[in-house]
Chain A
Amino acid sequence: MGNTSSMLTQYDIEEVQQHCNNAFSQQEIVSLYERFCQLDRNGGGFVSGEEFLSVPEFAVNPLSQRLLTMLDGLNFKEFVAFLSAFSPRATVQQKIEFIVKVYDSDGNGKVTFNDMLDVLHDLTGQFISEHQREQVLTKVLEEAGYTKESLLVMSDFVKILGSSGLKMEVEVPVD
C-alpha cells in the first residue's frame, strides 16, 4: 500500500482501543486500519470527503452529506471512535448519543425543530413538500407531548427511541 506509517504497532492498537472504549477487538482495529488506508488513497493520514464519496454505496445514502461533515478530516483514531457507535458492544445509550450528534447541527446538545426538519428533508427528498413535512413533524411532536418550540436533548431521545429496540450494528470483516 505504501502510505505514511502503514504499520500499526501493538502500542498504537491499544491506544486506539482505549480511545473507542473497547468497542472493537484488536483484530477488528487492524482490519479497520487496512480499510482506512484503502480509502485514504493519497496517503494524507485522513480520508477526505471525496474519498468517502468514491464508495458508491455511501454516495447513494440519503444522509451521506450530514455524515461527511462529521467524518471529514478524521485521523484513524477518531475514525474508529466515530464507528464505535455501530459496534455490537456499544450500549443503546452510545447509539442514541450518535443519533443526537447527527441531528444536532450546531453541536450545542439541543435538537431544534429545524434540525429535525432538515434530517427529514434528507430522508424524503422532493417526495414530500416542505409544507407537508412541517405538518407531519408538528403533528407527531404534539402527539408525543412536545411542541414546535421544544428543544430536544439526550434524555428526550432516550425516552423516544430507547424502547423501540434500536438495531444499529455493522460487522467489521476480519480475515
Chain B
Amino acid sequence: MSSGKGGELIPSSSELDLDRPNIEDYLPSGSSIHEPVGKLRLCNLLDISPTLTEAAGAIVDDSFTRCFKSNPPEPWNWNVYLFPLWWCGVVIRYLILFPVRVIVLTVGWIIFLSCFIPVHLLLKGHDKLQKNMERALVELICSFFVASWTGVINYHGPRPSMRPKQVFVANHTSMIDFIILEQMSSFAVIMQKHPGWVGLLQSTILESVGCIWFNRSEAKDRETVTKKLREHSQGVDNNPLLIFPEGTCVNNQYSVMFKKGAFELGCTICPIAIKYNKIFVDAFWNSRKQSFTMHLLQLMTSWAVVCDVWYLEPQNLRPDETPIEFAERVRDIISVRAGLKKVPWDGYLKYSRPSSKHRERKQQSFAESVLRRLEEK
C-alpha cells in the first residue's frame, strides 16, 4: 500500500504532521468520497448528518482504542468438570511454579551481580574485554528472566550479524520484547526513562550495553534524539541499535504508525517481527492499567510465555522513497509477518490530542464545496 505522492502529502510546518501519510486513505469515510453537486440549498447547509454519523461511529468503536485493549485468554473453567481442573492449575501455578521461578530469578541475579560488579569496577582499564564480558553477562541475566516466565521462544530467520550502520526495528508489545531479543544477541536500545527500580536498572546495567534515554516530553525535540541515534549508529564498536518505532506498547493485534526517526539515519534497517501466543498469556503491557512489576508477576504466574520472533530481510531506503514511506513499507513487512492490523494513528496520541490539522482539512473541504455550489445555478 503506498501513500499518494505529490498532491496528497500536504506540506505543513507542524512537526507531528510530517510524521504521517494521508490519514484519509485509511479512515472509514462515507462523506468524503462522494462530491455533492448541484445548486446550494438550505437542506445542504443544515444537514449535518454525515458529520454526526462519523462522531457517533467514533464513540461506538474506534480503531485507536482497539490497539490498546488487553485481550486476556478466554476463560475455560465454566463447568463442573473443568473448574476443578482449572483450580488445580491455579494451585500449581501460584504455589509451585511461582516460587520455583522466583528462586531461579534470584539465583540468576546473584550470579549476575557477583560477576558484573567486579567486572565493572576492576576492568576499568581494559575497555574491550570489559565490554565483551558485560555484554555476555547482560545476555545471561536476560536468559534468566526468560526462564523465570518459562519463555518458549521460536527464533526464525538468520541470527543478526553485527555490522556497522545497521539498525534493528521491531513491533512493541511490552518491555519484555527487549529482554527476549537481548538474550539472543546484544543490542543497544533507545527507551523512555522509567521511574522506580526499572529506572535504576536502566541507568546502571543497561548503560553497559549502550542505551539512549529520552523523555516523551523531550521527544518532541526530535533533533537531540536523532543526533544521539546518529552518533551511536556511526560508532564502530557500539552494539547495534534496537528501536521500537511505534513509540509505545501496542496490544500485539494491531500496529500503530512508525516514527520516522530510525529511518532517516542512513543505515540498513533490519526488521524484527514479534508475535506472542495469546493462548498462554496476554503479554501486552497495558501501562495504563498495571505497573511493570505487576506485569512481570502476572507473567511469572502463567504457564508460559510463548512467542515467535522473526528476523526479516534487511531493507534499505529506495532512491524514490521518503523516510515516511520507508517507515510505512517496513511497518507493512512486520505487520504481515506478525499478523497485525495496521491503523493510521500515532502511538503518542495516548498522551496527547491529535493535531488540529485533521479537523481543518475536513472544514476546508466542506467550505470549498459550499462556495463552489454557491456559484452554480
Contacts and interface: CB of A to CB of B under 8 A. Distances in A.
Interface of A: 32, 35, 38-39, 41, 52-53, 55-64, 67, 71, 83, 86, 95, 98-99, 102-103, 116, 119-120, 123-128, 132, 136-137, 139-141, 143-144, 146, 157, 160-161, 163-164, 166-173
Most buried by A among B44, B56, B65: B56
Contacts of A136: 40, 45, 370, 374
Contacts of B53: 86, 167-170
A53 B371 CA distance: 30
A39 to B, nearest CB: 8
Given A116-B46, A136-B45, A125 B359 contact: yes
Interface in B329-377: 345, 349, 353-354, 358-360, 362-364, 366-368, 370-371, 374
26 contacts: A35-B59, A56-B353, A58-B55, A60-B362, A61-B54, A61-B362, A63-B48, A67-B55, A71-B59, A86-B56, A123-B48, A124-B367, A125-B364, A132-B371, A136-B40, A136-B45, A136-B374, A139-B374, A140-B40, A144-B41, A161-B43, A161-B46, A163-B43, A164-B43, A168-B53, A172-B60
Report, nearest first, the 5 A-B pairs whose CB atoms are least far apart: A125-B363, A127-B367, A57-B58, A124-B367, A144-B42
Given A57-B64, A102-B48, A128-B370, 18 more contacts: A38-B69, A41-B288, A56-B349, A58-B59, A83-B59, A99-B47, A123-B48, A123-B367, A125-B367, A136-B370, A140-B42, A140-B44, A144-B41, A161-B46, A164-B43, A167-B49, A168-B52, A170-B57
A77 to B, nearest CB: 16
A64 B61 contact: no
Interface in B261-303: 288
Contacts of A83: 56, 59-60
A37 to B, nearest CB: 11
Nearest to B31: A167
B375 to A, nearest CB: 11
Interface string B77-96: 00000000000000000000
B359 A62 contact: yes
A56 B60 contact: no
Contacts of A58: 55, 58-59, 62
The winner among A55, A56, A137, A161 for most chain B CB atoms within 10 A is: A56
Nearest to A160: B43
Contact of B59 (A55, A103, A167): A55
Contact of B65 (A55, A59, A63, A124): A55
Contacts of B367: 123-125, 127-128
B49 A99 contact: yes
Nearest to A119: B48
Contacts of A172: 60-61
B61 A127 contact: no
Contacts of A127: 360, 363-364, 367-368
B354 A56 contact: yes
B3 interface: no
Given A38-B65, A136-B40, A144-B42, A63 B51 contact: yes
B63 interface: yes
B42 A160 contact: yes
A71 B58 CA distance: 13
A123 B51 contact: yes
A55 to B, nearest CB: 5
Contacts of A38: 65, 69
A36 to B, nearest CB: 10
B52 A99 contact: yes
B152 interface: no
B27 interface: yes
A55 B58 contact: yes
B52 A98 contact: yes
A59 B63 CA distance: 13
A128 B371 contact: yes
A6 B232 CA distance: 49
Contacts of A35: 59-61
Contacts of A32: 60
A134 to B, nearest CB: 12
B49 A56 contact: no
Contacts of A168: 49, 52-53
Given A143-B41, A168-B49, A173-B61, A63 B55 contact: yes
B359 A61 contact: yes
Nearest to B364: A127
Which residue, A57, A95, A126, A137, has most C-beta atoms of chain B within 10 A?
A57
B178 to A, nearest CB: 27
A127 to B, nearest CB: 4
A172 B57 CA distance: 9
B51 A62 contact: yes
A35 B55 CA distance: 15
B44 to A, nearest CB: 8
Nearest to B59: A58
A53 B358 CA distance: 14
A166 B49 contact: yes
